[in-house]
């Protein structure tokens, strides 16, 4: 019986004031103090991690069912990794997660290294592949609206691509600003992050991944877009989406709601507003008054 190892990677900084989500702070045109911005990120980290653990539990269950139906089917092992940098931030990240109690499965911590973001990202992937993992799916900590199904589908697609193509494949989920909220590939895929984020041509990250796949002849699977949170506009969008998801859970009990993030936003009294319709979308000449 063969064993296939899969890694879910949370690639992020620790929630230290002044280090994370600075574009949400007042001095950068946002709403929060540096402490509040870090607290928002901390809540989001917990929710993204919880969502990821739930997804891995679902994948575990599906793998058990497959082996019960076919004892010759491979065993699938799903592990959770957190990568941060520099090394002195690792204890902070560990303490961040251990401070709220025990998590559903072991968290593996690593330190990524490099001269720029691309190199740090590559180094995290390389460390995990060196441990014998067949694929890596990476998400950030600032995507509290990420559906659990995106994680399960990402691993399922990579398993399919790995079994179908000699060079595996890539899975990605676009974000709202021409970047990605999720990206992953198999250990045999000729892919890296070089020139994706650190580039001198202004090419967006999403376009970069597509072009790199095309140049290497690698198959690419794209999931539905999910927004991350960098600025006030992103925060407004995420706040409204989380409130919609929370209400929808009455009819859709299986959806994941980032309850820690939403509870904090509600506690802070965050309200989302938009200009009155007549100020930006005149209907004169389009709508005809009803003649009653």
In tens, the pLDDT along 40-55 reads 999 999 999 999 999 9
What's the pLDDT tens digit per position in 246-291?
Answer: 999 999 999 999 999 999 999 999 999 887 766 555 656 565 665 5
Q: Comparing C-alpha atoms, which of 34, 59, 219, 238 is closest to residue 146?
A: 238
* Rounded distance between C-alpha atoms, residue 107 and residue 52, angstroms: 11
pLDDT in tens, 86-129: 999 999 999 999 999 999 999 999 999 999 999 999 999 999 99
Assigned fold of 3-268: Spore Coat Polysaccharide Biosynthesis Protein SpsA; Chain A (3.90.550)
Residue pLDDT, tens place only, 160-183: 999 999 999 999 999 999 999 999
Give the 3-state secondary structure of residue 8.
Answer: strand
211-229: average pLDDT: 98
Residues 50 and 98: their CA atoms lie apart, in Å, by 13
Phi then psi for 110, rounded to 5 degrees? -135, 160
Task: Provide the percentage of residues in the chain whose pLDDT is more than 70.
Answer: 94
CB neighbours of residue 224 within 10 Å: 10
88-95 contacts at long range (C-beta below 8 A, 24 or more positions apart):
89/13, 89/14, 89/16, 92/14, 92/16, 93/14
| Cβ neighbours of residue 258 closer than 8 Å, sequence gap 6 or more | 43, 44, 47, 48, 51, 144, 145, 242, 245
Tell me which of 2-16, 217-231, 268-282 is least confident: 268-282
Distance between CA atoms of 257 and 240, rounded to whole angstroms? Answer: 12
Report pLDDT for 96: 97
Q: Which pLDDT band holds residue 292 (cuts at 50, 70, 90)?
A: low
């Amino acid at each position: 019986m063969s064993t296939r190892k899969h890694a879910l990677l949370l690639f992020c900084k620790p929630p230290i004031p002044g280090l994370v989500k600075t574009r949400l702070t007042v001095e950068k045109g946002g709403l929060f103090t540096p402490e509040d911005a870090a607290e928002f990120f901390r809540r989001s980290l917990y929710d993204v991690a919880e969502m990821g653990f739930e997804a891995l539990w679902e994948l575990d269950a599906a793998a058990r069912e497959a082996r019960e139906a076919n004892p010759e089917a491979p065993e699938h092992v799903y592990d959770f990794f957190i990568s941060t940098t520099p090394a002195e931030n690792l204890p902070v990240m560990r303490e961040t997660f251990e401070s709220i109690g025990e998590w559903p499965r072991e968290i593996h911590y690593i330190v990524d290294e490099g001269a720029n973001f691309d190199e740090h990202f590559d180094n995290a992937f390389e460390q995990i592949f060196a441990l014998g993992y067949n694929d890596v799916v990476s998400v950030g900590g600032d995507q509290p609206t990420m559906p659990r199904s995106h994680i399960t589908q990402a691993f399922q697609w990579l398993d399919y691509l790995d079994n179908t193509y000699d060079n595996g494949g890539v899975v990605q989920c676009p974000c709202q600003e021409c970047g990605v909220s999720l990206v992953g590939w198999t250990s045999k895929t000729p892919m890296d992050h070089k020139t994706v984020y650190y580039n001198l041509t202004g090419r967006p990250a999403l376009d970069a991944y597509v072009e790199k796949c095309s140049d290497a002849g690698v198959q690419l699977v794209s999931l539905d877009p999910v927004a991350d949170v960098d600025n006030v506009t992103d925060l407004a969008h995420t706040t409204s989406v989380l409130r919609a998801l929370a209400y929808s859970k009455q009819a859709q009990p299986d959806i994941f709601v980032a309850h820690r993030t939403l509870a904090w936003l509600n506690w802070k009294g965050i309200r989302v507003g938009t200009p009155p319709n007549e100020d930006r979308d005149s209907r004169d000449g389009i709508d005809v008054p009803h003649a009653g």
